[in-house]
Amino acid sequence: MKYITKPLSLALVLLMLVSLFTFAPITANAKRSGDFEYEFSEDGTAILTDYFGDVTVLKIPMEIDGHFVGGISYDVLDKCKYASIESDHTGFRSIDGNLYDDLGTRLIKYATGKSDTHFTVPNHVTEVGLRAFYYCYNLTSVTIPNSVYVIEKDAFSGCSYLTSITIPGSVRSIGWGAFDNCKSLEKVYYLGSEDDWNNIDIEYENDYLKRATIYYNATEPTTPSETTEPTTEVTMDVEDARNGLRTCLCSYSAIIDEVEYFGFYYENYYEFKQAYNEAMQIAYHDDDATAEELLTARKNLENARNNLVKTDHNPYESTPASTETTEPTTEETENTEPTETTKETEPTETVPQPTETEPQPTVTEPTECVHANTTTTGKKSATYFDKGNTGNKVCADCGEVIETGKSVAKKVLKTPKVTIKGAKNSIKVTYKKVKDATGFLVTYKLGKKTYNKKFTLSKKELKKASVKKTISVKKSGTYKVSVRAFVTSGKKTAYSLPSTKLEKVK
């Protein structure tokens, strides 16, 4: 789980992974208050962990059940339905429906559900935060102002429709995977020189950014939306379409919970549930689905979602109620029996027969299934390369999905503990073993040039607590050295976060 914390001092701290949290762990007991789910940290503050509301505007509270809100999970912020994110919390600021820190200097979250195709980051922003534009499908171009100096990890990850971006010369670092899966990115308008660009610390998993055409010393396009015609029909592939559909499924699962666990009512719910189940099937179980089929399933799901109307009663109980109103009519005919002849009473004896054959209650029998026998389908363990899923809890008798499976984050390798020393014409690295890692990658940078040295550990080395390696270098100077552990499976490789140090080589 990833989330943003807001300690009592109101200084915003962005934390990346559960294993890297710097404060007390969160308890496992989730509580429900209104549309929010939350948990407690050991300092007594509440962490918002999920949101079940059906509105398109998310409003962040200052307190929940009398407890100060000290953190927000990205499970809350990453839903695809929000057209606006508002805040009653003094530690955050909402500007034009997007979420910033209290000073407005850090863009925390662009509302994913906005329909705009272009966005200009305000010039009071200095940092584009972690997952700020995560899976924003509608954006085709973004302009970043000269006030920004860092674009953080996963900032634009999954923006498959993004075709151009304007990056200022003030940017000094671009985080890991900031432009991962930005497969339509064609143009980068860089407001600095080529030398300045080469001095930016661009971390791994930014291949699409590096492959784009870079216009050095460029001026910002006056009409970005015209100069960046989307090429989604060409660039959208199955992986992107599937991830987008799964993101919406995760977002809309809250509606299923509202109905099946908390007793809320919606008109057109069964149509929505059918579209939801069809989308679940194709997203998680149809490996042969095409990108077009996945996009169609997403469109059908969104249309079904838009047709939902919340009510205060069960709209599907109206039919049984109408059958009850027919019963008094038979009683009225019975009341007239004393005034009629015995001959007329004979047909009345046949009247109860239709009422006895009214098997309408049997129509509702499937909905009265007690779900005594259940099974789990679609369960998938998370790996270092793919997300997992807890699997759907399904009634074995009626086939109804009782509990929708939740996505399980990818496993993450621990950052390695290393000792780095500069020597004459060499860099010496002592790498301490990381669980499951099959090797480590050393990246060393001097000036504009970056070098990589990859070490795959032998069976003998994997048994050792630490491994020493020496890398020969030709030039003297101060090198920026980073070491990442990695694990491989087939053609896939997953890396840890780096251990970095500046070291002088003679």
List, for residues 227-247, the tens digit of each pLDDT value. Answer: 333 333 334 567 777 877 777
Q: List the CATH number of the domain containing 470.
A: 2.60.40.10
Q: How far apart are CA 453 and CA 434, in angstroms?
A: 18
Q: Are 91 and 10 within 8 A, CB to CB?
A: yes
**Stretch (H or E) spanning 399:** none
State whether 456 and 370 are in the same domain.
no
Q: Is residue 181 part of a domain?
A: yes
Taking residue 307's Cβ as centre, other Cβ atoms within 10 Å add up to 14
Q: Is residue 335 part of a domain?
A: no
Between the alpha carbon of residue 348 and those of residues 338, 340, 343, the distances in Å are 12, 11, 10
Amino acid in the structure at residue 469: K
Flag the least confident range among 166-170, 319-323, 480-484: 319-323
Q: Is residue 132 part of a domain?
A: yes
State whether 170 and 78 are in the same domain.
yes
State whether 105 and 225 are in the same domain.
yes
- Smallest CA-to-CA distance from 56 within 101, 112, 120 is with 112
- Smallest CA-to-CA distance from 375 within 330, 417, 405 is with 405
Domain stop point among 411, 438, 471: 411
Report pLDDT for 439.
Answer: 93
Report pLDDT for 300.
Answer: 85
State whether 62 and 203 are in the same domain.
yes
Polymer length of the chain: 506
State whether 319 and 393 are in the same domain.
no
Q: Is residue 349 part of a domain?
A: no
Q: How far apart are CA 370 and CA 364, in angstroms?
A: 13
Q: What is the pLDDT of residues 391-435, one digit of tens each?
A: 888 888 888 888 888 877 778 788 888 999 988 889 999 999 899
Report pLDDT for 190.
Answer: 93
Task: State both tokens at 358.
Answer: 């009214």
Q: Is residue 448 part of a domain?
A: yes
Burial of 191 (0-12, 13-18, 19+ CB in 10 A): buried
Q: Is residue 284 part of a domain?
A: yes
State whether 285 and 175 are in the same domain.
no
Report pLDDT for 9.
Answer: 40
Q: Is residue 174 part of a domain?
A: yes
Amino acid in the structure at residue 156: F
State whether 221 and 254 are in the same domain.
no
State whether 51 and 187 are in the same domain.
yes
List beta partners, residue 502: 480
State whether 115 and 200 are in the same domain.
yes
Q: How far apart are CA 429 and CA 441, in angstroms?
A: 11
State whether 377 and 403 are in the same domain.
yes
> Which of the four pLDDT bands, split at 50, 70 and 90, describes residue 451?
confident
State whether 9 and 134 are in the same domain.
yes
Domain stop point among 306, 324, 342: 324
**Could you give phi then psi for residue 272, rounded to 5 degrees?**
-65, -45
State whether 275 and 206 are in the same domain.
no
- Flag whether pLDDT at 167 surpasses 60: yes
> Which of the four pLDDT bands, split at 50, 70 and 90, describes residue 272?
confident
Domain stop point among 385, 411, 437: 411
Q: Are 15 and 80 within 8 A, CB to CB?
A: no
Q: What percent of the chain has pLDDT over 90?
A: 25
Question: Domain residues for 458?
Answer: 418-505
- Smallest CA-to-CA distance from 76 within 100, 41, 48 is with 48
Q: What is the pLDDT of residues 370-383, one digit of tens each?
A: 778 888 888 888 88
- Smallest CA-to-CA distance from 187 within 228, 158, 151 is with 228
Report pLDDT for 456.
Answer: 92
Q: Is residue 61 part of a domain?
A: yes
Number of domains in the chain: 4
Q: What percent of the chain has pLDDT over 70?
A: 77
Q: Are 397 and 304 within 8 A, CB to CB?
A: no
Q: What is the pLDDT of residues 274-320, one digit of tens each?
A: 888 888 888 877 878 888 888 888 888 877 877 777 777 777 665 44
> Which of the four pLDDT bands, split at 50, 70 and 90, describes residue 353?
low
Report pLDDT for 3.
Answer: 64
